[in-house]
Amino acid sequence: MKLASISRVVFPAFVLAGFAVACTRPNASHCANRDGDQTCVGLYPQRPKCSLCTAAFEGCVTEDALAKAEASCDFVTASDTLAGTTTANSDSIGSASLETTGGPSSTTANDSVSGDTTTDTDPTESSSSGGAEPFCGDMMIDQGERCDGTDLGGASCASEGLGEGMLACDGDCRFATGDCENQPICGDDLIQGNETCEGENLEGASCETVGLISGTLACDPDSCEFDTAACLTCGNDVIDAKEQCDGEDLGTLDCTDFAFAGGVLACTSDCTYTTDGCNSCGNNEIDVNEECDGAALGMNDCTTLGYEEGTLMCSDLCLYDLSACEADGNCGNGVINGEEQCDEGDLDDQTCQTYSGAYGGGVLTCADNCSFIDDGCCLDLLQGCSDDSDCCSNNCGVLTLALVCL
């Protein structure tokens, strides 16, 4: 199927939540989600390169928030808060781009799709001429490659010290020496054939150049292949060995798996779970930081909270719902008296965020009975959303941007 054309729309700087891309290949740990829509091809260097990678974004929008985008199998993230604008556009069917401009820093990630080929622009890895990011299979020998396709760089079995025969290039852009008279000997201090290293000679490779995050790359003395055991993978947004989670990838767990009623499970910088965003609201027991929970109102009613009469209720956020309480004669004079939460325009300097830590933005207002109305507040972006009713009110905005794989 073809990539649908998307009209040019300008939004404030924002966070994009709920993105998804797809890649499939055995052990393709550097591609994001793997739902079968895409394949991974080649290595650059020693890193899977994904074809036909596009993105689907959906979530709440707030101004002056961290702009985050994924336009290929590798994340492109603006690490600073952006004060400019973000633009999503497609000039024609078959091409799409996601661009963030303005503010202290800006990041652009472009995908150009034509037929079965996708090229990504990566400012850190592009050629000096501004062309597409090199990858195994582009018929050019790039950093970390011994060969590429039919391009052997002038090498032969003889030049590799392997005698007579026909040298070839395998799918990982390493020499295929099977047809050579002699085969490489691991441990002779000579990087030959399909060997990637010898002893301490890594030919300039590092954990970073093989697609990992950091650490110390070594050489396996038995196979003369890179040994990545001391390389770190935490931070690549894929759950690897010894990691509970990684970035946005939380596996299949959520707060309920940790005995909480709900909330947002998150991942720490060391790839372990944090339940700081989880809560017990909804278990009908008043827990820490809750005013009430379901029918459990503590010892309070409308009168104990300074109202004449009425029915005290509990909101879904475990805060008192005073909407059915009737205020005394002072309500409406524009001055907060007694137990009033607010009075007309006087909100006592409260905002959505200070009223409840569950909110990330929006507009808090005052009801006729001098209680807060939080209908205009938006849940924190980490909570996600499914529709306008549960977190994304119009004053916060809703973004739906889908770039679909061919």
Element (H, E) at 101: strand 95-101
> What is residue 304's three-state secondary structure?
helix
Give the chain's end-to-end CA distance (angstroms, integer): 5
CB 197 within 8 A of CB 186: no
- pLDDT tens digit string along 333-348? 898 888 889 999 999 9
In angstroms, the CA 48 to CA 52 distance is: 13
In angstroms, the CA 264 to CA 260 distance is: 10
Per-residue model confidence (pLDDT) at position 219: 94
In angstroms, the CA 210 to CA 226 distance is: 9
Instruction: Supply the pTM of this predicted model.
Output: 0.34
Per-residue model confidence (pLDDT) at position 132: 59
In angstroms, the CA 192 to CA 198 distance is: 9
Per-residue model confidence (pLDDT) at position 348: 92
Element (H, E) at 213: none
Given a cut of 50, the residues of the chain with pLDDT beneath it are 1-130, 381-406
205, HSE (Cβ side, Cα atoms, 13 Å) = 30
Short-list 63, 64, 112, CA closest to 91: 112
Short-list 289, 335, 296, CA closest to 312: 296
Q: pLDDT > 70: what percent of the chain?
A: 60
The dihedrals phi and psi of 281, each to the nearest 5 degrees, come to: -60, 125
The total number of residues written for the chain in this structure: 406
- pLDDT tens digit string along 194-228? 788 999 999 888 888 887 888 899 999 998 989 98
